[in-house]
A and B are shown apart, each in its own frame.
Chain A
Amino acid sequence: MSPLTKDTSQRMREAFTVEMSPATKQAHTSSIGEALSTVGSVQARPPMSWWRMRVPALGAALLVVLPVGTAIAAESALPGDLLYPVKRVVEPVRSIIDSDVVARHRVDELVRFLDAPVATDRLPDALRDAREAVSDLPIGHDLHVVFDQLTDRATDTRTSDAAPHREADEAPSSTETDTERSIETETDTETDRSLTDVPDEPDKHPHDSDSRGDSPHEHQDISDTSTTTESETKRDEPPPDHSDR
Chain B
Amino acid sequence: MSEYPDLDDLVVGIRHRSDEAFGDLYRLTADALASFAFSMLSDRQAAEDAVQQAFLELVKAAPTIKGDGRSIRAWLFRSVRFTCLDEIRRRGRRPEIPTESIPETADVHAEIQESGLDPSLESALSELTERQRSLLALRHVVGLSGAEAAEVMAMSRPAAYAATARAEKRLRTLLEGVESGSLSASQPMNHTENQP
A64 at the interface (CB under 8 A from B): no
Tell me, rounded to whole Å, the shortest Cβ–Cβ distance linking B152 to chain A.
9
Q: In the complex, what residues of B have CB within 8 A of residue A94's CB?
A: none
Tell me, rounded to whole Å, the shortest Cβ–Cβ distance linking B98 to chain A.
23
- Per-residue A-contact encoding for B65-100, CB less than 8 Å = 1, 0 else: 111000100110011001001101100000000000
Q: How many residues in A have their beta carbons less than 8 Å from beta carbons of B?
A: 73
Select one of B64, B130, B166 contacting A196, CB under 8 A. B64
Tell me, rounded to whole Å, the shortest Cβ–Cβ distance linking B182 to chain A.
13
Select one of B171, B175, B193 contacting A242, CB under 8 A. B193
Q: In the complex, what residues of A have CB within 8 A of residue B131's CB?
A: 221, 223-225
Among listed B2-10, B28-36, B102-110, interface-contacting one: B28-36
- Per-residue B-contact encoding for A1-34, CB less than 8 Å = 1, 0 else: 0111100110111111111100011011101110
Inter-subunit contact A24/B154 (CB<8 Å): no
Inter-subunit contact B16/A43 (CB<8 Å): yes
Tell me, rounded to whole Å, the shortest Cβ–Cβ distance linking A218 to chain B.
8
Tell me, rounded to whole Å, the shortest Cβ–Cβ distance linking A57 to chain B.
24
A122 at the interface (CB under 8 A from B): no
Q: A18-B34, A44-B12, A221-B131 are in contact. Are A233 and B154 (CB under 8 A)?
A: yes
Q: Is the interface of A mostly helix, strand, loop or mixed?
A: loop
Interface set, chain B 130-165, CB cutoff 8 A to A: 130-132, 134, 136-137, 140-141, 143, 150-151, 153-156, 159, 162-163, 165
Known: A41-B16, A208-B78, A222-B194. 12 other contacts (CB 8 A): A8-B172, A13-B141, A18-B34, A18-B44, A28-B51, A35-B60, A39-B17, A212-B67, A215-B78, A216-B78, A224-B130, A231-B155
Q: A11-B121, A19-B31, A230-B162 are in contact. Are A39 and B60 (CB under 8 A)?
A: yes
Q: In the complex, what residues of B have CB within 8 A of residue A117's CB?
A: none
Q: In the complex, what residues of B have CB within 8 A of residue A208's CB?
A: 78, 154
Q: List 9 A-B contacts (CB under 8 A).
A: A14-B118, A17-B35, A29-B23, A31-B52, A36-B17, A40-B17, A220-B89, A223-B132, A230-B163
A191 at the interface (CB under 8 A from B): no
Tell me, rounded to whole Å, the shortest Cβ–Cβ distance linking A34 to chain B.
9
Interface set, chain B 112-130, CB cutoff 8 A to A: 116-118, 121-122, 127, 129-130
Tell me, rounded to whole Å, the shortest Cβ–Cβ distance linking A140 to chain B.
15
Interface set, chain B 24-68, CB cutoff 8 A to A: 26-27, 30-31, 34-35, 38-39, 44, 47-48, 51-52, 54-57, 59-67
Select one of B30, B56, B143, B155 contacting A31, CB under 8 A. B56
Tell me, rounded to whole Å, the shortest Cβ–Cβ distance linking B45 to chain A.
9
Inter-subunit contact B56/A13 (CB<8 Å): no
Select one of B17, B75, B121, B122 contacting A42, CB under 8 A. B17
Q: In the complex, what residues of A have CB within 8 A of residue B22's CB?
A: 29, 32-33, 36
A170 at the interface (CB under 8 A from B): no
Interface set, chain A 205-233, CB cutoff 8 A to B: 205-225, 227, 229-233
Tell me, rounded to whole Å, the shortest Cβ–Cβ distance linking B145 to chain A.
13
Chain B, interface size category, equals: 35 or more
Q: In the complex, what residues of B have CB within 8 A of residue A32's CB?
A: 22-23, 26, 52, 55-56, 59
Q: In the complex, what residues of A have CB within 8 A of residue B150's CB?
A: 209
Q: A18-B34, A20-B30, A213-B61 are in contact. Are A12 and B51 (CB under 8 A)?
A: no
Interface of B toward A, CB cutoff 8 Å: 12, 15-19, 22-23, 26-27, 30-31, 34-35, 38-39, 44, 47-48, 51-52, 54-57, 59-67, 71, 74-75, 78-79, 82, 85-86, 88-89, 116-118, 121-122, 127, 129-132, 134, 136-137, 140-141, 143, 150-151, 153-156, 159, 162-163, 165-166, 168-172, 175, 193-196
A181 at the interface (CB under 8 A from B): no
Q: In the complex, what residues of B have CB within 8 A of residue A174's CB?
A: none
Name which residue of chain A comes closest to B163, CB basis: A230
Name which residue of chain A comes closest to B80, CB basis: A216
Q: How far is the CA of A206 from the CA of B134 in the complex (A)?
A: 16
Q: A3-B165, A230-B159 are in contact. Are A44 and B85 (CB under 8 A)?
A: no
Q: A36-B17, A223-B129, A240-B196 are in contact. Are A16 and B137 (CB under 8 A)?
A: yes
